[in-house]
Amino acid sequence: MKIMAGNSNLPLARAISAYLEMPLTDASVRRFADEEVFVEIHENVRGEDVFVVQSTSYPANDNLMELLICIDALRRASAKRITAVVPYFGYARQDRKPGPRTPISAKLVANLITQAGADRVLAVDLHAGQIQGFFDIPTDNLFAAPVMAADIQTRYGTQELMVVSPDVGGVVRARSLAKRLNNAPLAIVDKRRDRPGQSEVMNIIGDVKGRMCILIDDIIDSGGTLCNAAQALLDAGAAGVSAYITHGVLSGGAVARVSNSALKELVITDTIMPTEATAASDRIRVLTIAPLIGEAVRRIADESSVSSLFD
């Protein structure tokens, strides 16, 4: 088995390799003067089971091309099996046609990864479960919920908790976390999104008075939805509000928005490498999921059960 890393999230790749107690594959992933991506592998991978760690986060197109070219280089170097480890799968929010003459870009990206030569895919908290079906190769979707649940129990276990979904579409995810938190009660924020990036909180479904509310979602981008939801929960009588999000996209002024919001703290994972602004914020905390991904990689290599990680 070998672990290879692109440039999108080298700290996470190094943490995974440390967990597995094996060095990263010696390879160069660099740019020509015109920004073309060039990949060169400096050691023999013939007949090896190779895992390529690369999130397709910002800049999404550059990181996606790095992933595709890494896979192609490994295929032409006669690797036995290539697994694309994509902690954050970009384009996942384009998983259906929201209107006429629009693409389903998540399916296009799945086709690109498959055609490049990947034999299987390992991702974390895909935005929509059906994206697994977009791939014609085996796809494992890991869940960050166990890591988050352990952290919540440590920090807020003595308080009366309530898990809150920021929208109706995230109820399944919220219910899964609530079950891990000793069947904590569940609330839902009913909101209307007039256009992408802007939302208006309409109603809180559930009694949150006096409870420590834990907002749970898979992606935070502009931060508007979460910040509005946090204020609405406090207005409804919540004792406090914290948010646990798997993928901290945090584009534009999201970090400043979170820092000035009613949120007690925002907890994200390192599926996306934190920016300097994110790391400097005293309101944002990062959990590592390197052990979770590392253990999944080990089990895939050993042909043992991955789903038992979540039992």
Determine the pLDDT at residue 145: 94
Q: What is the pLDDT of residues 117-128, one digit of tens each?
A: 999 999 999 998
Q: What is the amino acid identity at position 148?
A: M
Domain at 145-288: CATH architecture: 3-Layer(aba) Sandwich (3.40)
Q: How many CB atoms lie within 10 A of CB 2?
A: 22
Instruction: State yes or no: is 191 an active-site residue.
Output: yes
Question: What tokens does 221 get?
Answer: 């981008």
Contact 31, 38 (CB under 8 A): yes
Q: Which residues of 266-280 are buried (b: 16+ CB within 10 A; e: fewer)?
A: bbbbbbbbbeeebee
Find out whether 200 is annotated in a ligand binding site: no
Per-residue tokens: 169: 């579409």
Residue 210 marked as a ligand binder: no
Q: How many residues does the chain have?
A: 311
Residue 59's pLDDT is 94
Looking at the chain, the number of H-run helices and the number of E-run strands are: 9, 14
Q: Which of 59, 65, 55 is nearest to 13 (CA)?
A: 55
> Which one is catalytic: 2, 97, 107, 191?
191
How does residue 225 score in pLDDT terms, banded at 50, 70 and 90?
A: confident
> What integer pLDDT is reported at residue 209 of this predicted model?
95
The reply, when asked if residue 42 is annotated as ligand binding, is no
Class of domain 2-143+291-310: alpha beta
What is the side-by-side order of every strand in the sheet holding 2-5? 2-5, 49-53, 81-86, 120-124, 139-142
- Assign 157 a pLDDT band (cuts: 50, 70, 90): confident
On whether 127 is known to bind a ligand per the annotation, the reply is yes
- 197 within 8 A of 175, measured Cβ to Cβ: no
Greater model confidence, 244 or 193: 244
Token pair listed for 83: 């697994």
| pTM passes above 0.75 | yes
Q: What is the C-alpha separation between 50 and 47, in angstroms, rounded?
A: 9
Average pLDDT over residues 246-274: 95
Q: What is the pLDDT of residue 200?
A: 66
Which residue ranges does the chain devote to CATH 3.40.50.2020?
2-143+291-310, 145-288
